[in-house]
Structure 1
Amino acid sequence: MDETEDNRAPSSRRRLQRLAAHLETLSLPPEAQLIRSYCSKIAVSKSDDYTVLGEYLAGAYKLERDKIFQFFRQNPSLQTPVEIGKDEHRQLAMRQLLALVRKGGIRPLRYLLEEPAKYFAVAEAVGTVDISLGIKLGVQFSLWGGTVMNLGTKRHRDAYFEGIDNIDFPGCFAMTELHHGSNVQGIQTTATFDRLHQEFVINTPNEGATKWWIGNAAVHGKFATVFARLKLSSPNSHIDVDMGVHAFIVPIRHLEDHSVMPGVEIRDCGYKVGLNGVDNGALRFHGVRIPRENLLNRFGDVLENGEYSSDLPTVSKRFAATLGELVGGRVGLAHGSVGVLKTAATIAIRYSLLRQQFGPPNQPEVSILDYQSQQQKLMPMLASAYAFHFSAQYLVKRYGEMKLTQDDEIIADVHALSAGLKSYITSYTAKALSICRESCGGHGYAAVNRFGSLRNDHDIFQTFEGDNTVLLQQVAGDLLKQYKRKFEGGALTVTWTYLRESMSTYLSQTNPVITHRDGEGHLRDPTFQLEAFQYRTAKLLHTAALRLRKHSKQLGSFGAWNRCLNHLLTLAESHIESVILSKFVDAVKSCENAEARVVLKLLCDLYALERIWEDIGTYRNEDYVATNKAKAIHRLVENLCFEIRGVAGKLVDAFGIPDYMLRAPIGLQSGQYSEYVHYIGF
């Protein structure tokens, strides 16, 4: 059959050829041969044909990442063993952090303040070593250090910067309480100003106000940023006036002998599902006195005479400004979760290329990644890892711009992006970790192959810095505000600009010619993909607004919100997927190496079309995609998975995780089985 005949072959024949190629050595169709030839030349630098793509992913901070990897390679005693108890793990995590800072020359607090992108690159590399170490670094520098630097003023930076940066002042972030987590405005710990002694008195008024899950508190912390309700005496009554939630520096242990401060109670939260290298504790305060200067007073201060001073006129505005400065934690979790996904995908894909199972009669066994079922588990995951990488890079860039400019529009953009991406990426990664474990069969269950620890350690990412469901509701709420603003003639912030046209045309009839187009060129056109994602978001936004208006008349605003909650969560996820795809499309266009760009385009197409297929019911119900087009999308998803399988090993190599950091025997680049059996003593 010549090329012309092959192009005219019935779809059933082409499908059989594709499927047969999964298990037999057949000639690939011409278009597959072309793509495969490109894929085999991702880069031509030396002998590593993933070098160009790897450098494109690593960006400007490859040297910082590799410096951390080399440090742990040169200090094997600091590597976390497979079997380790809670107390030993906690001490090891502290030794690892101290060694990185004091011997390795890493200065995370400086990076966070001066070059945030470098900080997040370092944090991802550190999380590859041990997620517990990554979280401990985040507690010390992003949470404890970040609150002092961002919520305090010059006097706090002068007094605490060096001690935090070199870890002479290990600290905690004491916000969450036993009865209050996501609802920070509901916390009950109090800080009452004593004008006579110029001190704040910190109290835990009841059991529910116990500070809970406080990282660094159980063993290592000497200070805590305590979030409490500021109480000031009223000149006209004996009732204290509640000025809302503020942050205070509270010493919890003596610097000299590490003994617990008077009035402070510390308890150990004990073993957790994961992250047992982090010493989470519970704190109670009984009349603990701190100087007036320990109030972190950037957004509100108490003068010597007991008067309150702030440039922000209301409690709600001060609270919003305070929480706004803490958004870096969400940025870090989104970024770090991508790193976990890269690690898990690398292990699962390398093992799937190595492991052989069954095959045609009287023929050698084939790799399990040659099976379509395995491809459709792992290839969309690989595409998602790349998609998330570029969206997380964009988020970090916007965060850096926010810190530099304090521009209101960028602040709004970062708040929405960080809430949505943190929620979406961490939820996806949590599910992907289980899929990776299952994809590696019984060997995926061995602790040494890391899926168990990765899954357990990462699981809490879905709760850290805001429960994912709550964060998605914030995104939905922001979308509805933008929707209202659009129809009132206001400007949309950057994240939502794509909705301007979509919301104007969502009621128009879909072009029947477009709905039936099913050619590969059309389906792989980023314009079609982006418009499909954005159409779905705009439609969900419009119908959510209508439903909320309808139910508010009978149920009130809270009841209407709850009645439409699942709809709103779907809306938020749809919006975030649109943002992720748009950043992936941008990254493909920006890649200067032609061969690497071809492979990135394959991944981008798979990400887009697999997401469309997963929600094909919505598109069919809206008559946005005709039956023949839906079938063509499904076929193309299968074909793209097959094509990407051919270069999957190179694509995970490009993540740049060396074997001595990956550590899972079945995920190494070579000698996997030898390392595995050596581990148990053969």
Structure 2
Amino acid sequence: MESRSRSRSDNQTAEDDSRLSTTRRIQRLTLHLNPNPTPPESHQEQQQLLQRLSCGSSRVKLEVDKIQLSIYMRGKYRDIQDRVFEFFNSRPELQTPVEILKDEHRELCWRQLLGLVREAGVRPFRYVAEDPIKYFAIVEAAGSVDMSLGVKLGVQYSSGKKRNLLSLWGGSVLNLGTQKHKDKYYDGIDNLDYPGCFAMTELHHGSNVQGLQTVATFDPLTDEFIIDTPNDGAIKWWIGNAAVHGKFATVFAKLMLPTHNAKGVSDMGVHAFIVPIRDMKTHQTLPGIEIHDCGHKVGLNGVDNGALRFRAVRIPEIIFLIDLGMSPGMENTQIAVTIATRYSLLRQQFGPPKQPEVSILDYQSQQHKLMPMLASTYAFYFASKHLVEIYSEMKKTHDEQLVADVHALSAGLKSYVTSYTAKSLSVCREACGGHGYAAVNRFGSLRNDHDIFQTFEGDNTVLLQQVAADLLKQYKEKFQGGTLSVTWNYLRESMNTYLSQPNPVTARWEGEEHLRDPKFQLDAFRYRTSRLLQSVAVRLRKHSKTLGGFGAWNRCLNHLITLAESHIESVILVKFIEAVQNCPDPSSQAALKLVCDLYALNRIWNDIGTYRIVDYVAPNKAKAIHKLTEYLSFQVRNIAGELVDAFDLPDHVTRAPIAMKSEAYSHYTQYVGF
């Protein structure tokens, strides 16, 4: 018995030694495969590691100085935005009520604009050319007060930032006009004596400039241009400021000059013309012009969209054409995520038995909905800020590379951000349950006002195709020694880095330090884009032999759109990482790093199939990315209140009772009459 006992004991010891030896070998192998984290040396440390990575536990909460973070984000134009907010807070009669009829909303929106310009002394037009960043700060603040106000302000003054080079009525005069036009119209546009509109979009061809059918025929006997709408499809449609308030229109039309050829005229292409549409004193529609109201819209009913037809309207003005753009209203995302986050922190429901109820933001499912969205909102903010900066630089230098860069980046950002925002607004509404359905809590109006941004001034799918086409052009020039625009910087480097076989060792690294390394995150984003670019180039070449250029493009269209989105995500991440690195306040920098990591890893996880197919990420690493993304969502939840407070949106701007910084339920019950 004793012998058998010793034998069992010896066998047990041998098994323990073998198990220990195996553990050591595994640890040594792990060190080779994953040198970043220090492996735990004891069972207790292993348990601590597991606990740390579980979403039900927390490290020490980050202490965030939300004032410093807000100062860093809003920058030197914080004062002008506060001036806009404070003006409307002091004028309750100019605040947009929850329920308002279309015609009343239009008149209120006009009074809001008049009050801002003539009473508050905020004169956006002077900044369009002198300081575009300040101009866009004003537009952003106005849009936060009422999206219709932001759009109407843009129609009057804008020199757009998001797609190409300029925008609507005021911007067209500044950018297309001669000094004579500026001298004649500047003051009237600035002080709102000359409200105007931008008549490009047509019923049939939309914003396809080359396909526009409105005609401007030059009459050499009178030295005038005759503007005509040749058919119903050429009626100018969805023209902001046209239905009620506009007195002038910048009209885009094909210029026809008389010639001695068989046709008698020569098509000189599309040009822009300043056309008076209403009498300056009586406000009556001028002869030869028909104006009709486009009617009630899903959203943005404070903007008076109209339809214009021209019947032999004679005018003396001509200005020359370049491209145009429009802002997608980024402020909607900030407002919506602020409302949803604050309500989720306030609302308590269920919890452990005989314990206090917990905040609904403590639930992993709610964190999964809202925290990556909050991270994306920060990411979009810094990318948009970068775009405004390079636009401003472009206006000063007229550098051709910057022009190309602004065009490509604005098209991609406009499409990507507005599509993401449209989905996010619905998620925010759902995250607030039944209270999200109450009109007073604003999700309905925010969603409706934002919806049009996905299609006007360029349908998002079309804009993404522009980005893909430009990327393919840059890709081709890369291998022909051409010059690349700034947007495609990473193609300046050796693309072989991104197109080579994934490293089987790094594909398995799963330590937190490695996954939160900006180099890993950027390399992953760029690897995906480069693979998509190379593969779609090969597919297009193959299909063009049998289907032709158009057929090949259409055959690869989904691939091309995915490529464009992937590239834009790479640019967004670059700008976010730079913003983190440049932040001077340590607590703000730590918060931004956390949010940036969540944005990057969440995007990688959402497209993990792409990385798995090519073995860029091994199964164990994919699992680690998923677990770390959930953990980072939990960590961001811990500072979610400070992060939305850093947007610095006053209660009278967010306006939703469930998003009030204090006594939210009191505000809500007062609204329904208690």
Fold shared by both chains (TM-score > 0.5): yes
Structure-2 residue corresponding to 1:285:
310
The size of the alignment, in residue pairs, is 626
For the pair 1:424 / 2:416, whether they are aligned, the reply is yes
For the pair 1:517 / 2:542, whether they are aligned, the reply is no
Q: Deviation per CA, 1:366-392: give whole Å up to 9, x if none.
A: 100000000010000100011001000
Structure-2 residue corresponding to 1:108:
124
Matched residue SS, 1:420:
helix
Output the CA distance in 1 between the equivalents of 2:291 and 2:77: 39
- Residue identity in the other structure for 1:295: I
Match of 1:462 among 450, 454, 471: 454
The alpha carbon displacement at 1:499 in A equals 2.1
Structure-1 residue corresponding to 2:257:
232
Structure 1 residues 20 and 390: alpha-carbon distance in aligned structure 2, compared to 1, 3 A threshold:
closer
The alpha carbon displacement at 1:407 in A equals 0.5
Structure-2 residue corresponding to 1:302:
none
Output the CA distance in 1 between the equivalents of 2:127 and 2:44: 57
Match of 1:632 among 624, 627, 635: 624
Q: Deviation per CA, 1:347-379: give whole Å up to 9, x if none.
A: 000000000111111111110000000001000
5 Å-filtered alignment, 1:464-613, equals 464-501=456-493, 503-613=495-605
Output the CA distance in 1 between the equivalents of 2:606 and 2:45: 28
The alpha carbon displacement at 1:464 in A equals 2.0
Do the aligned residues in 1 keep the contact of 2:510 with 2:621 (CA within 8 Å)? yes
- Residue identity in the other structure for 1:613: W
For the pair 1:620 / 2:612, whether they are aligned, the reply is yes
Matched residue SS, 1:80:
coil
Do the aligned residues in 2 keep the contact of 1:69 with 1:661 (CA within 8 Å)? yes
5 Å-filtered alignment, 1:161-310, equals 161-291=186-316, 294-297=317-320
Structure-1 residue corresponding to 2:74:
58
- Residue identity in the other structure for 1:296: I
Structure-1 residue corresponding to 2:403:
411
Output the CA distance in 2 between the equivalents of 1:410 and 1:212: 32
Structure-1 residue corresponding to 2:88:
72
Structure-1 residue corresponding to 2:15:
none
- Residue identity in the other structure for 1:414: V
Structure-2 residue corresponding to 1:160:
185
5 Å-filtered alignment, 1:277-426, equals 277-291=302-316, 294-297=317-320, 322-323=322-323, 326-327=324-325, 329=326, 332-333=327-328, 336-337=329-330, 339-426=331-418
- Residue identity in the other structure for 2:138: V
Do the aligned residues in 1 keep the contact of 2:109 with 2:148 (CA within 8 Å)? yes
The alpha carbon displacement at 1:10 in A equals 8.3
Structure 1 residues 237 and 64: alpha-carbon distance in aligned structure 2, compared to 1, 3 A threshold:
same
The alpha carbon displacement at 1:11 in A equals 6.7
Structure-1 residue corresponding to 2:31:
none
The alpha carbon displacement at 1:529 in A equals 0.1
Do the aligned residues in 1 keep the contact of 2:498 with 2:523 (CA within 8 Å)? no
Do the aligned residues in 2 keep the contact of 1:502 with 1:534 (CA within 8 Å)? no
Do the aligned residues in 2 keep the contact of 1:503 with 1:542 (CA within 8 Å)? no
For the pair 1:131 / 2:131, whether they are aligned, the reply is no
Structure-1 residue corresponding to 2:32:
none
Do the aligned residues in 2 keep the contact of 1:107 with 1:165 (CA within 8 Å)? yes
Match of 1:7 among 45, 50, 53: 45
The alpha carbon displacement at 1:12 in A equals 5.8
Match of 1:651 among 620, 639, 643: 643
Q: Deviation per CA, 1:19-77: give whole Å up to 9, x if none.
A: 444xxxxxx4xxx22xx1xx22x22xxxxxx1000101111100000000000111111
The alpha carbon displacement at 1:502 in A equals 5.4
Do the aligned residues in 1 keep the contact of 2:200 with 2:207 (CA within 8 Å)? no
TM-score (norm 2): 0.91
The alpha carbon displacement at 1:491 in A equals 2.1
Matched residue SS, 2:642:
helix
Do the aligned residues in 2 keep the contact of 1:516 with 1:626 (CA within 8 Å)? yes
Structure 1 residues 507 and 385: alpha-carbon distance in aligned structure 2, compared to 1, 3 A threshold:
closer
**What is the RMSD of the two structures over their aligned residues, measured on CA atoms?**
1.3
Output the CA distance in 1 between the equivalents of 2:119 and 2:138: 15
Matched residue SS, 1:101:
helix
Structure-1 residue corresponding to 2:634:
642
Matched residue SS, 2:250:
strand
Do the aligned residues in 2 keep the contact of 1:174 with 1:225 (CA within 8 Å)? yes
Do the aligned residues in 1 keep the contact of 2:196 with 2:249 (CA within 8 Å)? yes
Match of 1:122 among 120, 138, 163: 138
Matched residue SS, 2:495:
helix
The alpha carbon displacement at 1:104 in A equals 0.9
- Residue identity in the other structure for 2:413: L
Output the CA distance in 2 between the equivalents of 1:427 and 1:507: 29
Do the aligned residues in 2 keep the contact of 1:603 with 1:644 (CA within 8 Å)? yes
Do the aligned residues in 1 keep the contact of 2:478 with 2:491 (CA within 8 Å)? no
Do the aligned residues in 2 keep the contact of 1:344 with 1:436 (CA within 8 Å)? yes
Output the CA distance in 1 between the equivalents of 2:298 and 2:505: 53
Output the CA distance in 1 between the equivalents of 2:171 and 2:370: 37
Output the CA distance in 2 between the equivalents of 1:391 and 1:552: 35
Do the aligned residues in 1 keep the contact of 2:288 with 2:310 (CA within 8 Å)? yes
Output the CA distance in 2 between the equivalents of 1:236 and 1:625: 66
Do the aligned residues in 2 keep the contact of 1:526 with 1:585 (CA within 8 Å)? yes
Output the CA distance in 1 between the equivalents of 2:670 and 2:48: 52
Structure 1 residues 265 and 56: alpha-carbon distance in aligned structure 2, compared to 1, 3 A threshold:
same
TM-score (norm 1): 0.90
Output the CA distance in 2 between the equivalents of 1:3 and 1:656: 46
Output the CA distance in 2 between the equivalents of 1:172 and 1:20: 55
Q: Deviation per CA, 1:590-621: give whole Å up to 9, x if none.
A: 00111110110000000000000000000000
Higher Cα radius of gyration: 2
Output the CA distance in 2 between the equivalents of 1:203 and 1:493: 40
- Residue identity in the other structure for 1:587: A
Structure 2, unmatched stretches of 5+, are: 1-39, 159-167
Structure-2 residue corresponding to 1:446:
438
- Residue identity in the other structure for 2:188: G
Output the CA distance in 2 between the equivalents of 1:150 and 1:643: 47
Do the aligned residues in 2 keep the contact of 1:502 with 1:535 (CA within 8 Å)? no
Output the CA distance in 1 between the equivalents of 2:116 and 2:70: 25
Do the aligned residues in 2 keep the contact of 1:347 with 1:666 (CA within 8 Å)? yes
* Identity across matched positions, percent: 66
